[in-house]
Structure 1
C-alpha cells in the first residue's frame, strides 16, 4: 500500500517513519517485549540506529521507559496487542499521573481481522477488538490508530508532539499489515511550537509575580516534583539563589534545588514534620509553588498544601494567582523564555533579606551533630539515611522507592547536581528498580552524545529499595545485566511491608513476605563472573561496621558494574517521618478523613 500524496517525494515504510521521528526527538533506545503482533515492527529498530533494550516483561518495560523519559524527555516502548498492552498499563497510568513522556507503540492485528471482529488470540474472544485501545484513552494524552495511510504521518507527528509538550504517555497502534505501507519521508523536524503561546501574556505574568514578591514580607518558594518536567532546572535554581527567598521542597520535588543554596530549608512535611518549619510556612504571606503535586502522600495528608489565598501556582505553561479562577483564555508561556524574563526582572529588583528560623530536624545540622554508632551495633533507619548522605556524590542519579525508602531519604543531605527520582502520586511499589535501568541507560546515552545534561554525571546510578518492593519487579536486574548498566542497588531488608505494618496489621501475616536470598539475584539472572569490564558485587551488611567497610571499598564507591548490597534492619524499625505519617494516615482512615 502506498501513499500517493507525496508524489515525487522519497517514500519510506510507515514503521520507518515512526522510528525516524523518534530519533529526531532524541530517542536512543526502545524498551519492550517481542510478540507476534509486533515482530515486524521490531525489524526496524536496529536499522533506525536505535538500541533494543529487551525487557523481561511489559510492566518493567513501562517502568523503565518512565525512568528513561524523565531523563531524556522522550522514551518509547513496543508491546504486542492485548496481553502485552494490558501488562504495561499500570506503568502507563503512573507515567500519565506523574508526567513521564512515553510513546507506547502497539502492534495490532491486521485491519481486515479487526473490521470482521474475528476471534483472535490475545483478545477477549467477543469481537470487541478496540477495547484495549479504549482502556488506554484514560491514561494517555493522545492516541493514534494508524489505519489510514494517507493520514498516518500527520497523525504520528501530532501524537509525538503531544507526548513531548505535555510530558505524558501517548498510544500508537500499528496494524501488522500496514507496517510496510509506503508514506512520504519527513522533510523537516516536527513542529514543537507551543499552541497559544503569547509573549505579551508571558511578560504580564512575570511582572505580576515580581510585583507580588516586592509586596510580600514573608515569602516562600515551594518546589514540587512536576517542576522537573519544565526542563529549566538550572534557571529555577538561579531564581532561588537570586531572590534569597526561603525555599522548601515536597518529597516528590527533592533534588531539583541544589541543597547547598543558603536559603534552601529542606523537605516540608506539614503536620508530621518540624513545628518551627510549619509555623513559618503558615505565616508566609506569599508562596510561589512551582510544579506542585498535591497528592495525599506527597503533602503528608494534605497538611503541607500551602494556603490558596497567598499562593501563586507556577505550572509548566500557565500560572494561577491566589484564589482566582484559572486563566481559560488558552494563552500560555514558554518555560524557557518565561524563566529568562523572570531572572532578568529579579536581577534588576532590589529585594530584602528574608530571615528563616530552622528547626531542630534540619538535616544538615543533624548530620553535622551525628554521633556514629559503634561498629557492632545493628543498623537503624534514622542514622542510616543521614549517614548515606556521605556516600552520595555530585552528578549521581538517585532513585528512592515508595514507602520506607522515601520516608527515610527525606533526611538525606544531597550534593549538588544530582537527579533524585521517586514517585509522588502513583506509588506502585517496585517501580524504581526498572526505572533505574531506564534512567541509567538514558544517562549513558547522554554522556556518549556529549550532551550538556550529562556533563557532570558521576557515572553512578543508585537505588534504595525495600525487600518487599524488590519482589514486585526483580526481573529488572536481568534487564540491567543484559544492557551492562552501571548500577548500585541497596536493598533494605526489614522482613516485609513496613509502611503497611505501621498503618494497620503490624503483626498480621499479610504484611509478611517470603524471605529471598537477595544477593544471589545477580547470579541467578546470569551476571558475568570475573569480568573486569562489568564487575559484580553482592554483599550483605548486618552491623554498622560491616556497612561502613562496604561503602568505603573503592569498587563500591566507583559504582562500575552491578552492586547489590543488602542492608538488614529490624522489622519494627522505621524512619521517624514514616512512623509519624503512618499514624496520621491511620487516624484519617478511622475518622473518615477528619483529623
Structure 2
C-alpha cells in the first residue's frame, strides 16, 4: 500500500533534508493551512514582526546554515519581503520564498479578492510573480499534484546550486493534496560537478604554468568564493603557493588571517597602499569577484584583465579568454600538482608592505578618554574568539569592520552590494538561530560543535530604528546575542556624504537599552538581559572584562556613545574618493 502525505508536508520535509531547521515569516489568511505543516515536519516556526524583517532573518540564517526559508501571504506579504529577497539575490544568499496564494479556481476566474488589484482579470494573480522573476533564479506555481513534488525539488536544487533565492507559489487548495511519501527517499543532492575531463586538464595545466612562471604574483579573494563553494580551494591555494594574499571587504573572513602571507583587505588608499606592488604584478588570481563600487574602492582595486586568472561560479577567465567550466575540480588539480611539483614549496614571495595582520599590543588609550573610531574597531578585535559570528551594519560599522583582525574560524557577515540599512538586526536573529541549530545538531550526533562561538552584532542607532521590532523576536526565541549599538546621534555615514547639519539625517533619541523590558522580557537566571552604556575606554573595558558578558548567556547589549561625525580613516578615504568621482 502506498503511503501518502500532504503536499505541504512534502515541501517542509524536503527542506528539512537540506539541513534547514527553521522557517521564518508572517501568517496571513492565504498561508495559514500551509503553516500547519511546519512544526510537524520537524522545523521551527519563527514568526517575525513583518515580512521585510522575515526576509532579512531568513537571509542571515542562510549565510550560516547554507539555506533559509520564508513564508508570506500573497500580494501584501510577498511585496513587503521583496527588498530582502532582492538583497539575497544581489549578495548570493540561498533563500526559499514560499507564498501562500488564493484557491486556483478563484484565480482563474479573476475574482476580486483582497490583496489583489481587484481588476477582475485573472492576470492580477500573475503580476506579483512577474515582479519576482528578476530577483530569483527559479520559480514554480504548484498547480498539478502529479508534477508538484518534482517542481519543489527543482526549485530547491536551483537555490542550493546557484546560492540565490527562489520563489514558490502554493495555492490554498494544493496544501492538502496527497503525494507518495516514498518520493522523499529520492536523493535531493545536487548532481556531481562534471567537466569535460580533457578540457579540465588543459585549463588546470594552463593555470599551473602561470603560477610556476609568475615572478610577482598575488591572490585576491572575494565574497563569491564562499558563495560558489570555493572557500576550501581558496584557503588551500593560499597555503600551498605562499603567494601574498588579500581579500576584498566582501571576502573578509574567508581566508585565515593568521597566515604569514595574508595581508588584510586589498586597497589602494591610506595605510593599505599596495598600489606599487600590484602594478608590478605579473599574475593575480582573483577568486569569486564581486566588483561593486563599495567593494573595490570605486573600482580602484579591480585587477588588470591581461594578468588575471578570474575564478567565477561557472567559468574561468585566463587573461582575455573565458572558458565555461566548473572551477572546483580544476582548482583541485592545480593544488594537487603544486604539492607534488619540484618547483614547490617556494619561499613566499612576500614583498607587500607589512599589513599588521597579527594582533599587536592594544593601542594606548586613556581610560577617561572618549572613543575614536580610528582606534575602536581594531581594538575590538581582542574581544573576538574562534567560532564567533560577527555582523556589521551598513555605515560606520561595516566600514569599521574592515579594521577587524579575525581569529580562525570566524564568520563575518557584512554587505558590499545591496547595503540595505536595517538588514543586520533581523539577519543577526537568523544567524544566532542557525548557530543554535548547528550546536544542537552536533550534540544530537554526539559531536562537538567546532568551535562554538557567539553571535555579535555591531549596529548604528539609525539602522537599529529601521527594524527594531525584530529585537522582540530575538528575545522571544531566547537567542544568545551580544549587541554593540553605536549611538552617534543619527545617520553618520549620510552626514559625511551630504548634509551634516540637515534634519533629515537626525533620528529620534530612543532609550535603546530599555528595549528588553519594552518588549516584555525581564532578566531571569535562565535568560539574563544585561545592559550598559559606555562613553569612555575605561567603561568599555570594564564591561568587556565581565565573565557574564563575554561568556554568558542571554541578550547582552552595550550602547557605545560616539561623536556625531566620527568615523574610521577607511570610511573617510572612501568618501573622499566618492566625492571626487561625483565631482
Q: CA deviation at 1:356?
A: 3.1
Contact kept in structure 2, 1:484 and 1:561, CA below 8 Å: yes
Query: Structure 2 residue aligned with 1:141, among 134, 137, 143?
Result: 137
Matched, 1:62 2:60: no
Q: CA deviation at 1:517?
A: 1.1
In 1, the alpha carbon distance for the partners of 2:553 and 2:200 equals 45
Moved more, 246-255 or 281-290: 281-290
Q: Residue 114 and residue 428 in structure 1: after superposition, are their counterparts in 2 closer, same or farther (change >3 A)? A: same
- 1:76-155 equivalence runs, <5 A: 76-126=69-119, 127=121, 128-155=124-151
Q: Residue 327 and residue 235 in structure 1: after superposition, are their counterparts in 2 closer, same or farther (change >3 A)? A: closer
Q: CA deviation at 1:10?
A: 2.8
Q: Residue 475 and residue 199 in structure 1: after superposition, are their counterparts in 2 closer, same or farther (change >3 A)? A: farther
CA offsets 1:128-177 (integer angstroms, 9 cap, x no match) = 12111110011000000001222111111111110000011000000001
Q: CA deviation at 1:238?
A: 2.5
Q: Which residue of 1 aligns with 2:276?
A: 279
Q: Which residue of 2 aligns with 1:437?
A: 429
Q: Which residue of 2 aligns with 1:20?
A: 13
Moved more, 446-455 or 499-508: 446-455
Normalised by the length of structure 2, the TM-score is 0.95
Contact kept in structure 2, 1:10 and 1:184, CA below 8 Å: yes
Q: Residue 395 and residue 576 in structure 1: after superposition, are their counterparts in 2 closer, same or farther (change >3 A)? A: same
Unaligned runs of 5+ in 2: none
Q: Which residue of 2 aligns with 1:5?
A: none
Normalised by the length of structure 1, the TM-score is 0.93
In 1, the alpha carbon distance for the partners of 2:280 and 2:231 equals 27
Q: Residue 454 and residue 424 in structure 1: after superposition, are their counterparts in 2 closer, same or farther (change >3 A)? A: farther
Query: Structure 2 residue aligned with 1:587, among 558, 580, 583?
Result: 580
Query: Structure 1 residue aligned with 2:471, among 452, 458, 477?
Result: 477
Q: Which residue of 2 aligns with 1:256?
A: 254
Unaligned runs of 5+ in 1: 1-7, 591-595
Q: Which residue of 2 aligns with 1:4?
A: none
Q: Residue 110 and residue 465 in structure 1: after superposition, are their counterparts in 2 closer, same or farther (change >3 A)? A: same
- 1:287-326 equivalence runs, <5 A: 287-324=284-321, 326=322
Contact kept in structure 2, 1:251 and 1:406, CA below 8 Å: no
CA offsets 1:382-424 (integer angstroms, 9 cap, x no match) = 1111110110111111111111112111111111110111111
Q: CA deviation at 1:455?
A: 2.9
Q: Which residue of 2 aligns with 1:593?
A: none
Query: Structure 2 residue aligned with 1:343, among 335, 340, 349?
Result: 335
Query: Structure 2 residue aligned with 1:393, among 378, 385, 404?
Result: 385
Q: CA deviation at 1:339?
A: 4.2
Matched, 1:383 2:375: yes
In 2, the alpha carbon distance for the partners of 1:449 and 1:28 equals 10
Moved more, 234-243 or 142-151: 234-243
In 1, the alpha carbon distance for the partners of 2:13 and 2:481 equals 30
Q: CA deviation at 1:90?
A: 0.4
Contact kept in structure 1, 2:277 and 2:352, CA below 8 Å: no
Q: SS state of the match for residue 203, structure 1?
A: helix
Contact kept in structure 1, 2:388 and 2:454, CA below 8 Å: yes
Find runs of 4+ consecutive structure 1 residues off by over 6 angstroms. Answer: 451-454
Q: Residue 267 and residue 454 in structure 1: after superposition, are their counterparts in 2 closer, same or farther (change >3 A)? A: farther
Matched, 1:168 2:164: yes
Contact kept in structure 2, 1:379 and 1:543, CA below 8 Å: yes
How many residue pairs end up in the alignment?
Answer: 574
Contact kept in structure 2, 1:490 and 1:566, CA below 8 Å: yes
- 1:173-192 equivalence runs, <5 A: 173-185=169-181, 186=183, 187-192=185-190
Q: Residue 105 and residue 442 in structure 1: after superposition, are their counterparts in 2 closer, same or farther (change >3 A)? A: same
CA offsets 1:295-342 (integer angstroms, 9 cap, x no match) = 000111011111111111112332111122x335xx435x3x444333
Q: CA deviation at 1:256?
A: 0.6
Give the RMSD, CA atoms, in angstroms: 1.9
Q: CA deviation at 1:197?
A: 3.8
Contact kept in structure 1, 2:241 and 2:348, CA below 8 Å: no
Q: CA deviation at 1:209?
A: 1.6
Q: Residue 54 and residue 198 in structure 1: after superposition, are their counterparts in 2 closer, same or farther (change >3 A)? A: farther
In 2, the alpha carbon distance for the partners of 1:251 and 1:489 equals 21
Q: Residue 83 and residue 210 in structure 1: after superposition, are their counterparts in 2 closer, same or farther (change >3 A)? A: same
In 2, the alpha carbon distance for the partners of 1:110 and 1:353 equals 67
Query: Structure 2 residue aligned with 1:502, among 493, 496, 501?
Result: 496
Contact kept in structure 1, 2:484 and 2:559, CA below 8 Å: yes
Q: CA deviation at 1:273?
A: 3.5
Matched, 1:371 2:397: no
In 2, the alpha carbon distance for the partners of 1:320 and 1:10 equals 50
